[in-house]
């Protein structure tokens, strides 16, 4: 591994922890800040839940601590590594920030991949966009 390619970003959200968590794990909200495969039913994200785009990519919920931590391991079928060889994940951490919630996102490490820089670059953009959308959903819903 030549370099670490991990995206890290964060945003302050003026909403209760429980609202931010709901936006992270409820499919009706996830569809507004990320893509879900067309056949994905309205399953909340919980440990062991798999989101699969058949023949393309798979996300598996590997950790879930309500109102604190959500981790989804990522595997893309075209990667030339077995799933166990890479620990590439989307990790969302929530913490009480006085007047609201600090939401941190970490995506990677793409350094183990041959075209890791490409994944890193697109994940930078995803992180910024997703955090803004999550913030808006959490602050504006009733």
What pLDDT was estimated at residue 1?
45
- Model confidence over 58-112: pLDDT tens digits? 999 999 999 999 999 999 888 877 666 677 999 999 999 888 999 999 999 999 8
Average pLDDT, the chain: 91
- Under CATH, to which class is 7-140 assigned? alpha beta
The domain ranges of the chain are 7-140
Joined tokens for residue 48: 């062991």
Quick check: 142 pLDDT over 50? Answer: no
> H/E/C letters for each residue in 71-140?
EEEEEECCCCCCHHHCCCEEEEEEEECCCCEEEEEEEECHHHCCCHHHHHHHHHHHHHHHHHHHHHHHHH
Please name every residue paired with 74 in a beta bridge, in sequence order, or none if there are none.
Answer: 59
């Amino acid at each position: 591994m030549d370099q670490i390619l991990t995206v890290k970003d964060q945003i302050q959200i003026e909403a209760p922890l429980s609202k931010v968590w709901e936006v992270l794990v409820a499919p009706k909200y996830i569809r507004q800040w990320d893509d879900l495969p067309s056949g994905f039913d309205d399953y909340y994200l919980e440990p062991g839940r798999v989101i699969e785009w058949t023949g393309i990519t798979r996300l598996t919920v590997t950790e879930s601590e309500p109102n604190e931590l959500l981790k989804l391991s990522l595997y893309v079928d075209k990667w030339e590594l077995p799933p166990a060889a890479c620990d590439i994940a989307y990790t969302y951490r929530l913490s009480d920030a006085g007047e609201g919630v600090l939401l941190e996102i970490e995506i990677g490490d793409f350094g183990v991949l041959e075209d890791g820089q490409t994944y890193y670059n697109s994940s930078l953009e995803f992180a910024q966009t997703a955090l803004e959308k999550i913030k808006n959903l959490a602050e504006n819903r009733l």
